[in-house]
Amino acid sequence: MKAITDNLLEKLAGPGAFKRGKAYYEQGHVAEFKRRGRTITALVEGTETWRVTLRHTAAVFEGSCDCPASENFDFCKHCVATAMAYRGELEQQDQLKRSTGKDRLPAYLLTWEKQALVDLTLELLACDRPRLNALRVQADIAAGSFDDKAIKKQITAAIPYNRHLFRYAQVRNYFQSVESVLETLTPQLKALSPDQALKLIDYAMARIERALETIDDSGGFRFLAVEMLTSLHLETLQRSDMQPERLAGYLYGLYTEPVVDLYPAIPDEYAEVLGTEGRKQFIAIIRREWDKLPPLANDDWDQKFVYWRLQQPLLKEAERADDNEARIALKVKTATGFRDFLELSALCLENNQADKALYWRRRAEKDSNKPYHSQAALEENQIAIWSHAGDYDAVLKARWRQFLEDPSLQRYQDIVSVPGAGKENAIRESALAKLRDIQSQAGDRPVKKQAALNTSAEIHLFSDQAEEALALAESEALNPDLLLHIAQSNDKLPDRTLPLYFRLAAFHVRQGNNQSYKTAIDILKSCRQQLPKKLDGAFVVLAGEMLERFKQKRNFAKWLREAFPDIS
């Protein structure tokens, strides 16, 4: 077949017609392209639609057109455009013949007519709603008919209500569709005025909030769509020219609606947008609304939430100003139950108002709906009141009583921290003696005995008596985490700490899973790295004994041999 080159086409049509025909081809003016044997026909759209006929053989390449320009000169610009379309098809077919593997399908699709490709695309997109919606938006944008009303229409279509979706796949697909549309709409929203964009962003947020009423999004699939909107919201506010008072009023309007939970925290996350004056105006609005409310009458959460929403920014302002009186006044207005009363008692103590602290404590004691931990909370409050009054004898007695009920390191530290408690050595010996009594009286309660042993070791470590803790570990079974702490605290006594590492490793091996086996081997590796050379033989012996002991745990035995090839 005769080669169709640019030189041939320019020779047939002339430079001017060639240039205009090439532009027609590149602009997609060639339609209804058909081949029958060696004859090619097409319609070319110009000022009118003209029919072109080409004939291509090994010897000739010629063309004709029914446009006026072809009356005296057969090969016109329409023939050039059609010839280039025909040449492109030949190249695609040649590429298809040469293609292999994954390149063959794209090469094959390039030989299809546009309408066939469009039909196939629409058929496939029927099962891919996110991409279909995004392409519809792009089509509207390309058509040039995309204003704020059109954007709102797209948002409405993209975020439907009452879908009652509960399966992960359904919810994921729903929000992926929302994401695709929002991603396409973002440049259009940025091109609108700030006021127009904000209305549409808020509209989209409100629709998501409404949609979540019937969608179980426990998987958090909404987060990316919401993040796109919140980023756009902040960016739009930054480019707006709202005065501080209007901006504060706008954010307050969002703050009091349920949809606020989807926005960044107001006002803190909007600090840069609000500025000092805007934040001042926002707090002033909150204060006016707060002052309108009467003291809270009951503990109903729905009613309490209204107070809580207004109270939080006011509390933060009081904390910034270190204004305890303001904090107390805010808390008094919403105090309706045990926790509120005790919190106020503590706040009053911080503000050196002992009488008021006692008043709120009594309110807590008289409350009829105390939680299950009320006695412990009341005791801590009483200790705080005694401490404020300087009655450290009463505090010390309470702390020792707590230690006997709960013999833990934390309770021991509480005793040591009481002013005038005495020398720490005496406190420690007394605590250890009480722990020994608990062990001897534990009887058939091994958990209580074990807790007392562990606390004894922890007290030794807390008091920098590492060797005493080591002696206890050598004679008693202690918590595995304590064994490691004790071994690390006695690094100058490697001959005595070596068995502790193997005891700890054995504990992990007994857990019976691959991760615990690896943990055990890591412990032994760390141990060997810090051992002096003279103890290397002892390490090998103990490792060999462990290998024999746990030989039925095949993975552990295999990995132990790989880690320490010199054991047998």
* 513-539 confidence digits (pLDDT tens): 999 999 999 999 999 999 999 999 999
267 cis-preceded (ω within 30 degrees of 0): yes
Region of poorest pLDDT, from 22-36, 124-138, 259-273:
124-138
How sure is the predictor about 399, in pLDDT bands with cuts at 50, 70 and 90? very high
Can you give the pTM of this predicted structure? Answer: 0.64
DSSP track, 168-181 = HHHHHHHHHHHHHH
Q: According to the per-residue pLDDT averaged within each range, which of 83-87, 296-300, 471-475 is highest?
A: 471-475
How sure is the predictor about 131, in pLDDT bands with cuts at 50, 70 and 90? low
Residue 143 has pLDDT above 70, yes or no: no
| DSSP-H helix ranges across 367-423 | 374-389, 392-405, 409-416
Q: What is the pLDDT of residue 116?
A: 74
Q: What is the pLDDT of residue 98?
A: 79
Residue 417 has pLDDT above 90, yes or no: yes
C-alpha distances out from residue 113 to 103, 110, 552, Å: 19, 8, 69
Strand ranges across the sheet with 30-36: 30-36, 39-45, 49-56, 61-65
Q: What is the pLDDT of residue 300?
A: 83
Residue 145 has pLDDT above 60, yes or no: no
Look over the chain and give the mean of its residue pLDDT values, rounded to a whole number. Answer: 90
Q: What is the pLDDT of residue 130?
A: 62
Q: What is the pLDDT of residue 444?
A: 74
- Distance between CA 355 and CA 358 in Å, rounded? 5
DSSP track, 363-374 = HHHH-SS--TTH
Q: What is the pLDDT of residue 333?
A: 96
Q: What is the pLDDT of residue 434?
A: 95
Cα–Cα–Cα angle for 108, 111, 117, rounded to 5 degrees:
90
Q: Measured on CA atoms in the order 268, 271, 274, 275, is the torsion positive or negative?
A: positive
For 337, phi then psi, to 5°, come to -150, 180
Place of tokens 């759209």: 45
Q: What is the pLDDT of residue 146?
A: 59
- Distance between CA 374 and CA 352 in Å, rounded? 24
Q: What is the pLDDT of residue 567?
A: 83
What is the token pair recorded at 67?
């446009």
Helix axis angle for 424-441 and 392-405, nearest 10°, is 30
How sure is the predictor about 195, in pLDDT bands with cuts at 50, 70 and 90? very high
Q: What is the pLDDT of residue 109?
A: 72
Residue 112 has pLDDT above 70, yes or no: no
- Where in the chain are the domains? 6-121, 128-384, 390-476, 491-568
Q: What is the pLDDT of residue 142?
A: 63
- Distance between CA 328 and CA 132 in Å, rounded? 57
Region of poorest pLDDT, from 18-22, 30-34, 267-271:
30-34
How sure is the predictor about 478, in pLDDT bands with cuts at 50, 70 and 90? very high
Q: Is 409 left (phi over 0), alpha (psi -120 to 50) or beta?
A: alpha
Q: What is the pLDDT of residue 33?
A: 83
Residue 111 has pLDDT above 80, yes or no: no
**Section 325-346 average pLDDT:** 95
**Section 294-302 average pLDDT:** 87
Judging by beta carbons within 10 Å of its beta carbon (0-12, 13-18, 19+), is residue 15 exposed, middle or buried?
A: exposed
- Distance between CA 238 and CA 254 in Å, rounded? 17
**Section 469-487 average pLDDT:** 93
Q: What is the pLDDT of residue 151?
A: 87
517: Cβ contacts below 8 Å, ≥ 6 apart: 508, 509, 553, 555, 556, 559
- Distance between CA 54 and CA 61 in Å, rounded? 7
Q: According to the per-residue pLDDT averaged within each range, which of 26-35, 63-72, 493-502 is highest?
A: 493-502
DSSP track, 422-453 = --HHHHHHHHHHHHHHHHHH-TT-HHHHHHHH
Q: What is the pLDDT of residue 513?
A: 93
Q: For residue 556, which of 515, 526, 525 has the smallest C-alpha distance?
A: 515
Q: Which strand (E) or helix (H) includes residue 325? A: helix 324-333
Q: Which amino acid is at 247?
A: L
How sure is the predictor about 362, in pLDDT bands with cuts at 50, 70 and 90? very high
